[in-house]
Amino acid sequence: MRILIVEDDKDLSRQLAEAFKQAGYAVDVAADGEEGHYLGDTEPYDAVVLDLGLPLIDGVSVLQKWRADGHKFPVIILTARSQWSEKVAGFDAGADDYLTKPFHTEELMARLRALLRRSAGHTTDSLEIGGLMVDNRAARAYVDGTSIKLTSHEFRLLSYMATHNGRVISRTELVEHIYDQDFDRDSNTIEVFVGRLRKKIGVERIETVRGLGYRLVDPTISKA
C-alpha cells in the first residue's frame, strides 16, 4: 500500500514516514499544499494523511481540488485547530476522518488501517486466503499457521494482492502501489518479487494471467 503524507512540520513528517515504512507501507512526503496537491493529482495513492495548516495552499483547498478532479482515495486530515468549524470544513471538503494534534502515532495508524479496510471492502486487518494469512496490522504473513519471513517489498506486494484478492492486478498497478516516488521503479522487478513469494507461500497461490498480470488465488478451491 502506498501512502502520501502532506505535512509542513518536518519532525512530525519524518516521524510518521518512518512509522508507516516500518509498518510495511510505501510512503511519499510533501511539505506544502502545492506539492501535496500535485502528488495526489498525479500518483495513485491508497490513502493520504493531510495537514490543514499548510503553506502555499491550505489543506481544505487541496482536498477540494482532489475531490473535484475525481480522486477517491481515503483522506485523514490533521489539524492543530480545535474549533469544530474547521473539522466540519474538512469533512465537507471530502475528508474521511480527522485527528487533532497532538496525537498518538498508533491511533493514526489504526485509523488509516480502518480506512484502507473499508475502501477495499474488508472488515479486519487479517486477511485469510486458503491457509495463507496476511496480517496488515503486524506486517506479518503465515502459511498454515507458520510465520514466513518476507522483505518489506515482498510484504507490500503480498499485502496489496491479498487486499485485492481474486482480482487480476497488472504489473504497472503493482509498481505504482508498492514503491515510493524516489524508488527506481522497474516493472521487471515485480517478476522477481513474485518468484520469491511463490517460493515462500507456494507456487500455486499466485496465478499468472498472460498479458494481464497476477492474481492471488485459494489453491484449495477447484477450478473445475
- Cis upstream peptide for 102 (omega within 30°): yes
Q: Answer with the one of 67, 93, 120 that is the final residue of a domain.
A: 120
Entry pTM: 0.83
Domain count within the chain: 2
CATH code for the domain in which residue 210 is found:
1.10.10.10
Residues contacting 102, CB < 8 A, separation 6+: none
List per-residue pLDDT tens for the chain, 224 residues long.
899 999 999 999 999 999 999 998 999 999 999 999 999 999 999 999 999 999 999 999 999 999 999 999 999 999 877 677 888 899 999 999 999 988 999 999 999 999 998 888 888 889 999 999 999 989 999 999 999 999 988 999 999 999 998 899 999 999 989 888 766 666 678 888 999 999 999 999 999 999 899 999 988 885 54
Q: Given 95, 120, 145, which residue is the final one in a domain? A: 120
The CATH number of whichever domain residue 60 belongs to comes to 3.40.50.2300
**217 phi, psi to nearest 5 deg:** -130, 160
Locus of grid cell 510518521:
16
30 lies in the same domain as 59: yes
